[in-house]
Amino acid sequence: MKHIVHKPYWNFEKEEAWLNEMSTRGLAMSDYSWCRYVFEDAPNGKYIYRIEMLNHMPTHPESLAYLRFLEENGVEFVASYMRWVYLRKPAADGPFDIYTDIDSKINHYRRINLVWTVMMVAEFIAGGMNIAIGIINLNIGERLGNFSYGNLTIGIAVSLLGVMFLLLGAPLRKKIKKLRQEKAIHE
């Protein structure tokens, strides 16, 4: 029987933990689209799930080769969304870790952090421009039109989105810093 769950996640590690919890309840994820998970009944704890952000889209030749490599090693590709892939492996096969060394973990967190950073910068630029246009237009007697307060409102709202992306990236930056320190200790 199919079960559909609508649930948003901003943190892939929490999402991964939730998928594994669902697996222990006898629900195996079979498909995903934005905030929409499709589960099928399965034996409790049949699969271990991992989520990974690829360097390229899943249809890119490098990504396809990587996914084939994983498949050859018993990892099943379940679904993808943008550059994110949802993978699973039967729990009976033992532990399922994608990143076993510090450098690969750092690179994965950096890929994700880059997305949040680009979004943050874009939002701050758009917000700043709207605020500047609104202020300038108010100071010149609204000769550019009478949307100054709209520009100010949009600018503030978009800048707040920038703050949200800044906050979403903060835990990743801390993890990267911690992993780099751990790497320096081992070297």
Position 144 confidence tier, pLDDT thresholds 50, 70, 90: low
Query: What string of H, E and C letters represents the secondary structure of 22-60?
Result: HHHCCEEEEEEECCEEEEEECCCCCEEEEEEECCCCCCC
Q: What is the pLDDT of residue 140?
A: 84
Q: What is the pLDDT of residues 83-99, one digit of tens each?
A: 999 999 999 999 999 98
pLDDT tens digits, 156-186: 999 999 999 999 999 999 999 999 999 888 7
pLDDT of 139 = 85
Q: CB 177: neighbour CB atoms within 10 A?
A: 12
CA distance 43 to 24: 8
What pLDDT, on a 0 to 100 scale, did the predictor assign at position 84? 96
Please state, in angstroms and rounded to a whole number, the distance separating the CA atoms of residues 97 and 89: 10
pLDDT of residue 145: 67
Give pLDDT, residue 174. Answer: 96
What is the per-residue pLDDT across 40-76, written as a single tens digit (0 to 9) for each? 999 999 999 999 999 999 999 999 999 999 999 999 9
Q: State yes or no: pLDDT of 114 exceeds 80.
A: yes
Distance CA 120, CA 29 (A): 31
For residue 120, pLDDT over 80 is answered with yes
Residue 123, pLDDT score: 97
Could you give the CA distance from residue 76 to residue 37 in angstroms, rounded to a whole number?
17
Task: Indicate if the pLDDT at residue 12 is higher than 70.
Answer: yes
Mean pLDDT, rounded, of the chain: 93
Flag whether pLDDT at 15 surpasses 90. Answer: yes
Give CA–CA dist 140/75, Å, rounded.
63
**Residue 149 has what pLDDT?**
86
